[in-house]
C-alpha cells in the first residue's frame, strides 16, 4: 500500500470523498489520487518520493512553474509585514494597475478570492446594469460553482455525470440559457427571438473545461455583435485563459473586446485570487460607488497580491508567451507523431500554453458533442500509463493541460517518449 493510499483512506474519514475539489479524487480515471508533498519548476513530488513532470500546474495558475524564487521571495516579504488587514493596501492598486494596463477595455477591476466569486459577481453586476435576469452560457463551459452557472457545466461537473447539480433551484436554472459552443448560427437565431431579455453572455473565450476547445474564427465576433445589438453585456471568463494564452488574454489574442472580464489562477501566482473588471460605466455600479453589493473579508489579501504582482512582472518579459507557445507546439506535435506511429487515432488542440489531446477518429475537435464522443476509456488507460512513467496529466479527459516556463525541451521530449510507450500499449 502506498502512502497516498493510506492518506486517501484517512482523508475520507473527515473530508467528503477525501478531497476538497471533486476532480482531485480520480473518480473519472479510477484508482487512488497521488498525494503531493512538494513542487519545484516543472515537477511535483508525491508522498512516496516519486517525481512527475507536471502538466496540471495546479489547474493553471503556475505559468512560471512551481515555486519561482522571485514569487516566493515576494510572498515571504509580504508575510513578514502581516497576513491580512481588512483595510486598503498599496499592493492592491499596483496589481490593479498592472491588470488594467494589460487587458484592453479593463478600466476598473475588483479583486476577490476565487474564479467562482469573480463570475458570480460579474453576473450580478450585468443583471443589475441591464435590469434583466436571463443569462446565456455555453454547454461544457465551466464558470465555477455558483448556482446560476452550474448548469450544463464542464470540468468536474462533467466527470460526475451531473451537468446540473442537485441543489440548484429550478427557478434560478430557468434564467440560464445554454447554447452550443462554436455555433454562431444558433446564437444569432436565439438572439433574434429573445435577445432583448438577455442580461449577459458569459463564455470561456478558449474553452478549457471540456478539454481544450479554441473558438472557431468568427464565433467570438458573433457574440460581440449580438450583445451590441441587443444591449447585453459580454463577459469573457478568462479565469483560465487570462495571462495563459497571451499577456493580453484571449481577448487580445483574438482581438475581440468584452464588456467585462473575469480572472483568477495566474493573477494570484498560486495564491487564492480572482478578479472581475471592465468598462467603467458598468463597474461603477458596484458598491460603494453604486448599489450592487459585493464584498470579501480577505479580498485583495496582501500576500496574494504580492504573489500576483511578482508573477505579472515576470510574465511581461519580452518573448515569454512566444517561448511558451513553441514549447506547447513541440509537445502536441510530438504526441501526435507518437500516436500515428502506434496507429492510435488521436488529435490535439492548443492555444498559447493551453493544450488538449483527444482519442478520436475526427481530424479536428471543435465542439462539446465531439468531446463527449471521444474514447474516455482509452484516455483513462493513457492517463495511468503516463502517471506510472512519471508524467502527471489532469485526471479526466475533459480538462486542458498547461505548459509552464519551467518545462525544458528535455522534459517535453521525455514526456513524448513516455507517451510513445503508452500509445503502443493502448493498441491491445
Interface residue list for ligand PLP (CB under 6 A): 59, 114-116, 119, 142-144, 155, 204, 208-209, 237, 239-240, 264, 274
DSSP state letter for 22: G
Q: How far is the CB of 77 from ligand PLP (least distance, A)?
A: 25
Whose Cβ is closer to ligand PLP: residue 205's or residue 357's?
A: 205
Sign of the torsion angle spanned by Cα atoms 175, 180, 186, 188: positive
CA 136, 137, 138: angle at the middle one, nearest 5?
135
Block residue for cell numbers 436554472: 173
Q: Beta-strand (E) ranges in 140-216?
A: 176-179, 198-203
Cβ closer to ligand PLP: 122 or 306? 122
Distance CA 190, CA 379 (A): 35
CB of 332 to ligand PLP, least distance (A): 20
Q: What is the nearest approach in angstroms of ligand PLP to the Cβ of residue 158? A: 12
Query: Shortest Cβ distance from residue 409 to ligand PLP (Å)?
Result: 28
Output 68 or 143, the one with its CB closest to ligand PLP.
Answer: 143
Pick the closer one to ligand PLP by CB: 23 or 29. Answer: 23
As measured in angstroms, the least distance from the Cβ of 205 to ligand PLP is 9
Contact 33, 6 (CB under 8 A): no
- Kindly report each contact of residues 50-55 with a partner whose C-beta sits within 8 Å and lies 24 or more positions away, as own/partner: 50/390, 51/390, 52/387, 52/390, 52/391, 52/392, 53/390, 53/391, 53/392, 53/407, 53/411, 53/414, 53/415, 54/392, 55/391, 55/392, 55/393, 55/394, 55/401, 55/402, 55/403, 55/415
Q: Is the Cβ of residue 143 or residue 407 nearer to ligand PLP in the bound state?
A: 143
Cβ nearer to ligand PLP, comparing 95 with 339: 95
Q: Shortest gap between Cβ of 273 and ligand PLP (angstroms)?
A: 9
Q: Which CB sits closer to ligand PLP, 277 or 385?
A: 277
Task: Just list the catalytic residues.
Answer: 142, 237, 265
CA angle 407, 241, 301 (to 5 degrees): 90
- Between residues 116 and 348, which has the closer beta carbon with respect to ligand PLP? 116
Answer for the pair 182, 216: CB distance below 8 angstroms, yes or no. yes
Q: In sequence order, which residues have a C-beta less than 8 Å from that of residue 249 and are 6 or more positions away?
A: 102, 103, 205, 236, 238, 241, 242, 243, 261
How far apart (Å, rounded) are the C-alpha atoms in residues 390 and 396? 17
Q: Give the number of C-alpha atoms closer than 13 A to the C-alpha of residue 12, restricted to the C-beta side.
A: 11
d(CA 417, CA 178): 40
Give me the helices (H) in 131-255, please. Answer: 156-159, 170-173, 184-194, 219-230, 249-254
Query: 252 with 321: CB under 8 angstroms?
Result: no
Question: In the bound complex, what is the minimum distance in angstroms from residue 20's beta carbon to ligand PLP?
Answer: 11
331 close to 403: Cβ distance less than 8 angstroms: yes
To ligand PLP, the closest distance from the beta carbon of 238 in angstroms equals 7
Amino acid at each position: 500500500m502506498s502512502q497516498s493510499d493510506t492518506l486517501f483512506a484517512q482523508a475520507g474519514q473527515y473530508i467528503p470523498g477525501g478531497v476538497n475539489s471533486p476532480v482531485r479524487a480520480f473518480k473519472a480515471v479510477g484508482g487512488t489520487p497521488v498525494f503531493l508533498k512538494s513542487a519545484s519548476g516543472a515537477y511535483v513530488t508525491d508522498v512516496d518520493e516519486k517525481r512527475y513532470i507536471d502538466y496540471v500546474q495546479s489547474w493553471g495558475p503556475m505559468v512560471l512553474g512551481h515555486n519561482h524564487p522571485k514569487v516566493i521571495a515576494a510572498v515571504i516579504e509580504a508575510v513578514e509585514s502581516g497576513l491580512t488587514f481588512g483595510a486598503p493596501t498599496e499592493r492592491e492598486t499596483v496589481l490593479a494597475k498592472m491588470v488594467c494596463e494589460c487587458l484592453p477595455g479593463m478600466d476598473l477591476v475588483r479583486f476577490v478570492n476565487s474564479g467562482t466569486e469573480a463570475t458570480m459577481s460579474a453576473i450580478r453586476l450585468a443583471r443589475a446594469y441591464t435590469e434583466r435576469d436571463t443569462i446565456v452560457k455555453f454547454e461544457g463551459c465551466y464558470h465555477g460553482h455558483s448556482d446560476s452557472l452550474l448548469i450544463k457545466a464542464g470540468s468536474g461537473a462533467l466527470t460526475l455525470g451531473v451537468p446540473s447539480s442537485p441543489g440548484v433551484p429550478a427557478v434560478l436554472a430557468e434564467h440560464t440559457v445554454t447554447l452550443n459552443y462554436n455555433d454562431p448560427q444558433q446564437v444569432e437565431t436565439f438572439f433574434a427571438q429573445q435577445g432583448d431579455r438577455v442580461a449577459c453572455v458569459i463564455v470561456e473565450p478558449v474553452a478549457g473545461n471540456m478539454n481544450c476547445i479554441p473558438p472557431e474564427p468568427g464565433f467570438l465576433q458573433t457574440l460581440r455583435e449580438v450583445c451590441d445589438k441587443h444591449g447585453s453585456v459580454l463577459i469573457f471568463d478568462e479565469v483560465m485563459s487570462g495571462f495563459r494564452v497571451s499577456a493580453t488574454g484571449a481577448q487580445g489574442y483574438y482581438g475581440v473586446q468584452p464588456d467585462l472580464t473575469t480572472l483568477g489562477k495566474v493573477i494570484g501566482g498560486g495564491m487564492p485570487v480572482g478578479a472581475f473588471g471592465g468598462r467603467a460605466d458598468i463597474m461603477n455600479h458596484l458598491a460603494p460607488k453604486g448599489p450592487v453589493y459585493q464584498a470579501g473579508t480577505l479580498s485583495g489579501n496582501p500576500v496574494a497580491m504580492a504573489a500576483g504582482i511578482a508573477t505579472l512582472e515576470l510574465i511581461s518579459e519580452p518573448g515569454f508567451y512566444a517561448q511558451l507557445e513553441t514549447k506547447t507546439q513541440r509537445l502536441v506535435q510530438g504526441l501526435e507523431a507518437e500516436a500515428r506511429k502506434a496507429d492510435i487515432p488521436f488529435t490535439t488542440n492548443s492555444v498559447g500554453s493551453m493544450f488538449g489531446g483527444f482519442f478520436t477518429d475526427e481530424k479536428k475537435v471543435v465542439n462539446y458533442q465531439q468531446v463527449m464522443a471521444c474514447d474516455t476509456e482509452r484516455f483513462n488507460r493513457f492517463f495511468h500509463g503516463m502517471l506510472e512513467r512519471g508524467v502527471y496529466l489532469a485526471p479526466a479527459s475533459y480538462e486542458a493541460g498547461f505548459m509552464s516556463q519551467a518545462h525544458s525541451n528535455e522534459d517535453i521530449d521525455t514526456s513524448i517518449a513516455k507517451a510513445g510507450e503508452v500509445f503502443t500499449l493502448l493498441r491491445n
